[in-house]
Structures are given as structure tokens and as C-alpha cells.
Amino acid sequence: MKSVVIERPDELRLQDRECLQPAAGEVRVKVKYASICGSDVHIWHGHNPFARYPRVIGHEFFGVIDAVGGDVDKARTGERVVIDPVVSCGRCYPCSVGRPNVCRELQVIGVHRDGGFSEYALVPATNATPIPDSIPDRLASLVEPFTIAANIAAFLQPTLHDIALIYGAGPIGLTVLQVLKGVYGVKQVIVADRLEERLAMASDNGADAVLNNSDTPLAAQLNGVEPTLIIDAACHPSILAEAAMLASPAARIGLLGFSGAPCTITQQSLTSKELSLFTSRLNSHRFPQVIRWFEQKRVQPEKLVTHYLPLSQIEQAMTLFEQDPRTCCKIILQIE
């Protein structure tokens, strides 16, 4: 089988690998579509501190179960599935309180263990989540990025009357935008980015207002509007302090970034307004919920897709994704 292997940082290969049998508790998925995420590019360039090499990358993928290991119901063969990348121990404290995404022994498929940019992938049977026929093959891999938005939204509990501000109109900011509008019905969602093309995507994805903060700071553009809900999906360390300054008293702020650089903020700027800070990593059991949103058409995953490319063009696809944020949002790999 063909697999995309990062041998070591900066060395990407489309390799012929042996197609293995699933072990007990595992299924083998014949992968059909997989989408490229920023973290795949980070592993390629050696910028993901969790990655181990060599690694088959890809954590956003869809396919059909074609073999099952011992202890797995044989009737699952032929099931159409999307894969929850979170593999957890089920015993530690975070697992015991329903937070497997921060399990002490967390393994992320495509990061700590081999992933889905491959003709076949072995995954724990419990991570392979069935999807209904109403979700088309070519959009199914996008369930995973929407679980990122679902997870942070579950902490933030958006309401109709929130005034929301999203930093960043990349794939993550846009999934958050769609979830705030389509699922929670937030009436006013403002999106800030530095690229006009990305802001145009935000408008197309349902933003009520878009602001370009490349030259003029947001404070000068908001005309006194104080957001009650702020989500940082741009993830620069400087953003938190600005968000605290812009926020309404009693606002909630959601952070998604993994930067190792310190961010400077005073206690006063948080406590004087009694701001709540939430962070969110990957997802905790949110696949079924997002699959329902897809079925009910509460989100429009097709609006995120700018390219479909074959697996054979993986290096061109990753390069395009990395170097051309003005024309690229989600790139979906077709694996046949």
C-alpha cells in the first residue's frame, strides 16, 4: 500500500509499505478521503513537539472498514467511518472525568501513531465512528476539524445574544464561525484576519462583519462594541492581552493555540472584568455530535474546501497549503 511517511523532519516520502492485519480491538480502514491540517505541515518540518519519526501523517480521514481484528464484531466490515484521532487510556484522572483528549497517555492518530494519509490505516475499533449515508464521502473527513470548534464551544456555551469576535479566518476560525452561527444561532459574529482573501471566506461562511487588523488595531475599528465572547483561532501569543482589553466585563475567552512563547498579561486586565478563560485541545467524544450537525445541515463543510488532489500529489498539496493561505483553505486528498 502507498503511505505518506515523514522519515525525519523535512523528508516526506510516498512509500510502498506492507498492508498489515488488524490486531485485537482494531479495524483496518480502506481510506478514501483525507484532509490536510496545519499540524501535518508542522510534523513534516519538525515543528510538532509530540511527533515521533518515521510517521505516517494524517488525522482527518474517512474510509470503509475492510478487515477487523479479534474481539471486533465482523459485521462492522463495510461500515463507512470517520476516525476520532484521540486514543486514550480510559483510566487516568482526565479520562475518568470525560476528558480523554488530555489523557495522561494520550496518543493522537497521525501524530504519536500512524495515521490516514495512506491507502489503509489500522485504528482502534472504538475510534472508527460510523456515519450515515447522507454525509457524502468527499466531505466526511471534515468532521474532525469541526470537532475542534464543537469542543471549544462546549466550554464557552455561546448564546443567541452574544457578540462574538473570532481571531483568524483559517480552517479553524471558519469552523468556529459556522458552529456559532449554525448551531448556537449567535446573532453577531465578527471575524478578524490580516488577509482580505480569508476575510472574504469568512463572509461567505456567515460572518456578520469582517475586520482587517493588518494596519489598524481592532480597538479602533470596533467603535465601542465590546465582544462578550472571543475565540482566538489565530493563536499568536500577543492576542490574549488584546482580547482582554477589548472584551466586555463578564466575557468568556477561548484559546486554541500551542505556541511555546510566553504571552504577557496583567491579572488586573482579567480580574477587573471577571473574564473567564477556556482552553481546548482536540475533542472529547464529540464525533457523534458533529456527525448530527452534518446530517442536519447545521454546518456547511463544503464551504471550507478549496482543492481536491490525488494522494500521488501529496508534496505539491502540502506545499500549496503551506505557502498559499490566500487561495487555500481545506485541501482534500483523494485516495483510491
Binding site for ligand NAI (CB under 6 A): 38, 148, 167-173, 192-195, 198, 213, 233-236, 239, 256-258, 280-282, 325
Among ligand NAI, Mn ion, none, residue 150 binds (CB under 5-8 Å by kind): none
The vertex-103 CA angle with 24 and 37, nearest 5°, equals: 85
Burial class (CB within 10 angstroms; exposed 0-12, middle 13-18, buried 19+) of 64: middle
Among Mn ion, ligand NAI, none, residue 9 binds (CB under 5-8 Å by kind): none
Instruction: Name the segment binding Mn ion (CB under 5 A); options: 32-40, 204-212, 265-273, 284-292.
Output: 32-40
Instruction: Name the segment binding Mn ion (CB under 5 A); options: 5-13, 36-44, 132-140, 261-269.
Output: 36-44
Nearer to ligand NAI by Cβ, of 138 and 236: the residue is 236
Query: Which grid cell sits at 205?
Result: 461562511
* DSSP label at residue 218: G
Among Mn ion, ligand NAI, none, residue 325 binds (CB under 5-8 Å by kind): ligand NAI
Work out how close the CB of 172 gets to ligand NAI at its nearest, in angstroms, rounded to a whole number.
4
Compute the residue count for the chain: 336
CB atoms within 10 A of CB 297: 10
Work out how close the CB of 39 gets to Mn ion at its nearest, in angstroms, rounded to a whole number.
6
Q: Note whether 233 binds Mn ion by CB under 5 A.
A: no
Gap between the Cα atoms of 331 and 323, Å rounded: 13
Pairing of strands 80-83, 55-56: unpaired
Site residues for Mn ion, window 260-289 (CB under 5 A)? none
Nearer to ligand NAI by Cβ, of 296 and 323: the residue is 323
Based on its alpha-carbon atoms, the radius of gyration of the chain, rounded to whole angstroms, reads 20
Among ligand NAI, Mn ion, none, residue 335 binds (CB under 5-8 Å by kind): none
Nearer to ligand NAI by Cβ, of 38 and 69: the residue is 38
Amino acid at site 316:
Q
Work out how close the CB of 31 gets to ligand NAI at its nearest, in angstroms, rounded to a whole number.
20
Query: Which of 69, 72, 105 is CA-nearest to residue 87?
Result: 105
Q: Name the residue with cell 502507498.
A: 2
Which ranges of the chain would DSSP assign to H, the alpha helix? 38-44, 93-96, 137-140, 143-156, 171-182, 196-204, 239-246, 267-271, 287-295, 314-323
Gap between the Cα atoms of 47 and 50, Å rounded: 9
Nearer to ligand NAI by Cβ, of 214 and 268: the residue is 214
Work out how close the CB of 153 gets to Mn ion at its nearest, in angstroms, rounded to a whole number.
16
Among ligand NAI, Mn ion, none, residue 173 binds (CB under 5-8 Å by kind): ligand NAI
3-state secondary structure at position 317: helix
Q: Name which position in 5, 12, 37, 328 contacts Mn ion (CB under 5 A).
A: 37
Instruction: Name the segment binding Mn ion (CB under 5 A); options: 30-38, 98-106, 124-132, 151-159.
Output: 30-38
- Catalog residues that contact Mn ion under the rule CB under 5 A: 37
